[in-house]
Amino acid sequence: MSSEVTVTVNGESRAVPHGTVVRELLKHIPGKDLVAARLDGKVVDLTRKIEHDASVEPVLVDSAEGLDVIRHSTAHLMAMAVQKLLPGTQVTIGPVIEDGFFYDFAPKAPFTVEDLPKIEAKMRELVKADLKVERLEVARDDAIRQFAEMGEAYKVEIIQGLPADEPITIYREGDWMDLCRGPHVPSTRYLKAFKLTSVAGAYWRGDEHNAMLSRIYGTAFATKEALEEHLKLVELARQRDHRKLGREMGLYIFDPISPGSPFYLPKGVVIFNALIDYMRRLYRRYGYDEVVTPLIFKNEMFNTSGHWENFRVNMFLSPDPESETHTVDTSPEGWRHGYVAGRRAYLLPRRSDRGRSRAESRDGARRLRGAGLRGRRVQACDHAR
């Protein structure tokens, strides 16, 4: 093995000792501006060693990739704070999502929004401690044994499900560690602008047959100014929430007795009917006739259309006493089937079927708004063909 490798930084190539740490090649960039690096296009920790010829590029805190690293590291910071405050709580996964991150836990009791300030306070303590974040590559069997001894059953399951040739990496922060691919910031002091925003329930692996976990959502930014600006925008969006405005304007209300379905009040019905009148004017203008089809069908129709195979997880199902399955129509298949049944199965004329579709949200997560029910939604839609 050669004692040197060739690296390219800013378009310039040079030889460096084998095993040189990425950060050494980016000394010209202030530490506060740098959170990670791209090694041959892949984002890695600044502590990654270079073992072959490669190109190296900086990942700055104000870049999209840099923000992802900050948010991922903040999710780990939150998990560490939770386990410091509540020993015995198991951790599962904590990915970056749009505008923030979340982490799913298996605590003794579900989290509430009242828990968030305490967790944030503990996170700030850990930031001040400036804990070094270390990446460790470990043997699969050793990782399984170690997490099993820690009582982290979910982590053991994750490791067992990874491909046999995939390296197992652990990130350590002080005396705390987590299974993760990374990358992460060099130390906890980089994480100064964060906010925990809400709690939710979530099924393990998004499967309703698995255990219900407790999820905490949060967000993080490179600067406190950016965080404050984001929180202002979130508050503006909250004030413009259609559920809030609809209630305040006396248009409609929502109630747990029928999750996701609006109860239209008199003023709302005026607008609803005005929209229907507008659609009917369009029907006449463009030569459409209006039809009305059933809401519930036997699943054989959706087997034919392909909806059952491809979209069943998002279809609202209703069991039949005779063991056949019925589903609420979520497509124009009702009119299509009716037209064929009428033995007019040539080119379909212009028909509009304005009906209501109900869909089931089974992605495993639900916001805790008091109902404690699985996510559902109903919508009025026009299937014009």
Question: 31 CB contacts (<8 Å, ≥6 apart)?
Answer: 186
Long-range contacts (CB closer than 8 Å, 24 or more residues apart) made by 41-47: 43/68, 43/69, 43/183, 44/182, 44/183, 45/133, 45/135, 45/182, 45/183, 45/184, 45/186, 46/21, 46/22, 46/186, 47/21, 47/22, 47/23, 47/134, 47/135, 47/186
Mean pLDDT of the chain, nearest integer: 84
**What per-residue string of b and e applies to 298-309 under the rule 16 or more CB within 10 Å gives b?**
ebebbeebebbe
The model's pLDDT over 225-253, given as tens digits with 9 standing for 90+, comes to 999 999 999 999 888 888 889 999 999 99
User: What is the C-alpha to C-alpha distance for residues 345 and 274, in angstroms, rounded to an integer?
Assistant: 34
Q: What is the pLDDT of residue 256?
A: 84
Per residue in 306-361, pLDDT (tens digit) is 777 787 777 777 665 554 555 554 555 554 554 444 444 434 455 555 555 555 55
Higher per-residue pLDDT: 134 or 10: 134
Q: Which residue has the higher pLDDT, 365 or 317?
A: 317
Q: What is the CATH number of domain 267-384?
A: 3.30.930.10
SS3 of residue 157 by DSSP? helix
**Residue 119 tokens, joined:** 């967790």
**What angle do helix axes 116-128 and 64-85 make, rounded to 10 degrees?**
110
Structure tokens at 231: 């929180």
What is the tens place of the pLDDT at every residue in 165-184? 999 999 999 999 999 999 99
- Domain 64-225 belongs to what topology? Threonyl-tRNA Synthetase; Chain A, domain 2 (3.30.980)
Q: Which two tokens stand for residue 233?
A: 């925008």
78-101 as b/e: b if 16+ CB within 10 A:
bbbbbbbebeebbbbbbebeeebb
Domain spans of the chain?
4-60, 64-225, 267-384
Contact by Cβ (8 Å): 54, 8: yes
Class of 4-60 per CATH? alpha beta
| Structure confidence at residue 141 as a pLDDT band (50, 70, 90) | very high
Which pLDDT band holds residue 365 (cuts at 50, 70, 90)? very low
Higher pLDDT, 365 or 56: 56
Residue bearing tokens 């780990």? 76
